[in-house]
């Protein structure tokens, strides 16, 4: 597995290994919400207010209640045990921040692509990005209240996903639900690498 940092060989204080996972997806799909639900520390957020200046650039149809947007990244942390931490990086959702993606994706173990069925096409660029770079990913279908529920197979077809890419229904606000999405990613990465699938 790729680790952000390891100093197991050094004689200094033992630092935990850190896995980096990206939380991606379209504008307003719930990335910041998911990082906040999972992080054990107060998440670093880079939210800015959506104003009328963005009309014509920011398409908020379907997410009219949204008042802020991520302009750089979200960051959160989960400690698995004293030797292992997971760093979560939420991507910005809007096209004008694409220039940040390569930096954010560097060294990532894999990614969660959050999909909002009200605006499914918004997650296509994220899926293309990870497919083109061979970065393993899973799709989390964020079940917003009031959004029409589609069968998981219908969403899979619409996304034209490879059959082995896991898809999980989730509620980005719920820690337990969000954890299951991360677990499916770790299992998927292990399967792809032919490593033993960790027991959840
Ligand atoms: N009902 C419901 N609301 C949600 C859910 N996930 C997120 N929200 C709300 O949807 C809004 C958008 O969520 P964000 O987490 O900011 O979305 P984002 O993907 O980070 O958005 P950008 O960074 O602007 O692309 C917020 O008001 C959340 O409270 C969900 O699962 N259910
Ligand atoms: Mg955000």
Q: Quick: pLDDT tens for 102-127.
A: 999 999 999 999 999 989 999 999 99
Coil, strand or helix at 97: helix
Residue 200 has what pLDDT? Answer: 65
Residue 72 has what pLDDT? Answer: 87
pLDDT at 157 over 60: yes
Confidence of residue 67 (pLDDT cuts 50, 70, 90): confident
Residue 144 has what pLDDT? Answer: 85
Confidence of residue 9 (pLDDT cuts 50, 70, 90): low
Nearest to 81 by CA among 14, 138, 148: 14
Mean per-residue pLDDT of the chain:
88
- Which region holds residue 160: left if phi is over 0, alpha if psi is between -120 and 50, else beta? left
Q: What is the CA(157)–ligand 1 centre distance, in A?
A: 24
Q: Decide: 70 in ligand 1 pocket, CB within 6 A.
A: yes
Tokens standing for residue 193: 């690498």
Residue 152 has what pLDDT? Answer: 85
Q: Decide: 117 in ligand 1 pocket, CB within 6 A.
A: no
Confidence of residue 195 (pLDDT cuts 50, 70, 90): confident
Q: Whose CA is nearest to atom 2 of ligand 1?
A: 144
Q: Decide: 140 in ligand 1 pocket, CB within 6 A.
A: no
Pocket test residue of 116, 143, 172, 178 for ligand 1, highest count of atoms within 8 A of CB? 172
In the beta sheet, which residues pair with residue 44? 75
Q: Decide: 126 in ligand 1 pocket, CB within 6 A.
A: no
From CA 90, how far away is CA 72, in angstroms rounded? 9
pLDDT at 176 over 90: yes
Q: Decide: 171 in ligand 1 pocket, CB within 6 A.
A: yes
Residues 6+ apart with CB under 8 A from 147: 116, 117, 118
């Amino acid at each position: 597995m790729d680790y952000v940092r390891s100093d197991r060989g050094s004689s200094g204080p033992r630092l935990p290994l850190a896995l980096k996972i990206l939380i991606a997806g379209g504008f307003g799909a719930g990335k910041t919400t998911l990082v906040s639900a999972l992080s054990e520390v107060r998440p670093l957020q880079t939210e800015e207010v959506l104003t009328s200046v963005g009309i014509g650039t920011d398409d908020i149809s379907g997410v009219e209640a949204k008042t802020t947007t991520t302009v750089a990244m979200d960051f959160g942390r989960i400690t698995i045990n004293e030797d292992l931490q997971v760093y979560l990086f939420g991507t910005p959702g809007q096209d004008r921040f694409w220039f940040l993606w390569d930096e954010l994706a560097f060294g990532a173990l894999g990614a969660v692509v959050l999909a909002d069925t009200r605006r499914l096409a918004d997650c296509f660029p994220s899926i293309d990005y990870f497919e083109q770079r061979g970065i393993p990913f899973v799709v989390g279908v964020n079940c917003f209240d009031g959004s029409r529920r589609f069968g998981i197979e219908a969403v899979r077809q619409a996304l034209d996903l490879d059959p082995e890419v896991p898809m999980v229904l989730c509620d980005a606000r719920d820690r337990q639900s969000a954890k299951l999405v991360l677990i499916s990613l770790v299992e998927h990465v292990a399967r792809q690498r032919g490593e033993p699938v960790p027991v959840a």
